[in-house]
Structure 1
Amino acid sequence: MSYKWLKWLILWIPTITIGLWEYLRHTLLLPFISMDLGNLLAPVFVFLITLTLLRALFAKLEHMQELLQREKIVKAAFEEREQLARELHDGISQSLFMLSVKLDKLERAQTDTDMRQTTDQIRQTIRRVYDDVRQSIANLNDAPLPAEMSWMQGIHHLTAEMEQTSGIRTKVEWRVREGTLTHKQKVELLAIIREALMNVQKHAQAKHVVIRGENESRHGEHRNAFRCSIQDDGVGAEEQKLHEKGKYGVKMMRDRASALGWTFMVQRAQPHGTVVEIRGRRD
């Protein structure tokens, strides 16, 4: 029996029971049952019938509570897997890609100076992978995070590493007011920018990329609204390919933005290239 039917039965059965009892008592049972005994039996009948229905309702509610608890456990496990996937993708996977780029650069080195510089860069990348692995383990163990670098330091670190490894020139035009983003929002936005730059380096065949950030407000509303875009001058991305299976980077960026209530968009830029755009505001 469904929860809806149980609810309606509990509302109507006591009323119907009292009505039927009073009708039968006055029409058929009055010669056999006194008025006082009839008044005493009426609440007893109502109590017994209601108790029977309530037991079914409580059993139904306990079953629903058990199912809800199971769903919570499954959801928590899924969220932990998603978090682990993000940690691997944001840190280790990207660092390994950078390492492969630097190894290619080492093979093309023509002088001892170039070889030493590239070797030092590879050594730094390996240390970063090591730190990312330790940090991922610490996160799984709920260990405290180390102190984060400042927002603009994080942006310039990403752009400097990109220029160093791929030669793609980057430009930062950041005019978002301080206080517009919370610390958590800055961390998530930085992760989106990092993934967007990595996609440019992997697929765009671009020579330049521009990171822009600005506040958006209309007539004084949503003073803490912002818009961030990452635009390159590469070959451009085809819309259907962005949603293919295995395109985890785009999915991760979209999920991060959606979790904070932001809008996320990837489209071709004019006259050529690709632009990633994030719009949102501080709650």
Structure 2
Amino acid sequence: MVGIWEIVRHQFLMPYLSMDMGNYLTPVLVFLFSIVLLVPLFSLMEKNARELEQERLLKTAMEAREALAKELHDGIAQSLFLLSVRIDRLEQKHERGEMDAETIGQLKKNVHETNRYVRQAISNLKVPVAGAQTSLLAQSVQEQLTQIAREVTVEVAMDWSLRDETLSPAEQAELLSCIREAMINVRKHTRAGRVAISGREDGQGWRVAISDDGAGIRHEDPFAVSGSYGLQIMKERAEGMGWTLALKSGDYGTIVEIAKKGASA
């Protein structure tokens, strides 16, 4: 553009414009042409930025819906299915005149369990807003420890050095779900006096352990026990993410370990 102006200036405008005036007009013309060319370009860039932001928000919303759908399927739907089975059995016993307090107690327990799953799913939608220096993963784990401490008289401890950036958002969500299932099992079955969670990483991967000093699980293969939906869900989640899940139990209590492939156990 400057070259064209210089040619026009020297070939046609020299009789009308002095050299000094031409030198003054050159930056003015460059500025005006720049404005004319850049304003549409900036408008296009802003439009593209808005479209990208809308796509990002839509993707975030879809991921949240998928996470909620999985939560509903793994927790609430399983509990409702079990509840429907127990109601069918209750109807059969009622027809035979075999109603008993144990059956009614189990039914009430399932209703409370479903209610707890619903409340937990709603709670999971409330993502805390934190500063850049706050570890959202560690904060979420601490909140789960605090919750179990409120519901059950139990001592809790946490040793967490696993960084948020080590896991993708999807991995963080699945890991928190596994930890929550482990907490539920502690509350329901172990009669523990102390619960501890640790999260560590090394150059190859990471490992998370949930331990308690309760009565332990008296089965050779806890994952194969009928009705152990929490453990089965944890196993399915871990396998779906390519992690390893190990459960050790005895008179000393129970330890659930979740590790990424390559992490030291």
Q: In the superposition, relative to structure 1, how do residues 84 and 182 fare at CA in structure 2: closer, same or farther (>3 Å)?
A: same
Q: Which amino acid aligns with 1:222?
A: Q
2:186 is aligned to none
Shift of 1:226: 7.4
Matched, 1:37 2:21: yes
177, 180, 197: which one pairs with 1:188? Answer: 177
Q: Distance in 2 between matches of 1:46 and 1:67?
A: 32
What is the SS of the residue equivalent to 1:33? Answer: coil
1:128 is aligned to 113
Q: Deviations over 1:143-190 (max 9, x none)?
A: 99664449xx9xxxxxxxxxxxxxxxxxxxxxxxx7586896753334
| Structure 1: segments with no counterpart, 5+ residues | 1-16, 154-177, 195-214, 234-248, 258-262, 266-276
Contact kept, 8 Å, 1:192 with 1:253, in 2: the verdict is no
Matched, 1:222 2:204: yes
Matched, 1:116 2:115: no
Q: Deviations over 1:198-238 (max 9, x none)?
A: xxxxxxxxxxxxxxxxx9x9xx84374579xx9978xxxxx
Counterparts of residues 26-65 of structure 1 (less than 5 Å)? 26-65=10-49
Q: Distance in 2 between matches of 1:180 and 1:83?
A: 25
Q: Which amino acid aligns with 1:127?
A: H
Q: Distance in 2 between matches of 1:142 and 1:79?
A: 14
Instruction: Give me the TM-score of the superposition, normalised by structure 1.
Output: 0.48
Q: Distance in 2 between matches of 1:254 and 1:52?
A: 57
Shift of 1:115: 4.2
Matched, 1:86 2:67: no
What is the SS of the residue equivalent to 2:17? Answer: coil
Q: In the superposition, relative to structure 1, how do residues 64 and 254 fare at CA in structure 2: closer, same or farther (>3 Å)?
A: farther
Shift of 1:57: 1.2
Q: Distance in 1 between matches of 2:62 and 2:176?
A: 22
Q: In the superposition, relative to structure 1, how do residues 35 and 80 fare at CA in structure 2: closer, same or farther (>3 Å)?
A: same
Q: Distance in 1 between matches of 2:163 and 2:84?
A: 35
2:2 is aligned to 18
What is the SS of the residue equivalent to 1:222? Answer: coil
Contact kept, 8 Å, 2:205 with 2:260, in 1: the verdict is no
> Identity over aligned residues, as a percent?
31
72, 91, 102: which one pairs with 2:56? Answer: 72
Q: Which amino acid aligns with 2:56?
A: K
1:166 is aligned to none
Number of matched pairs:
188
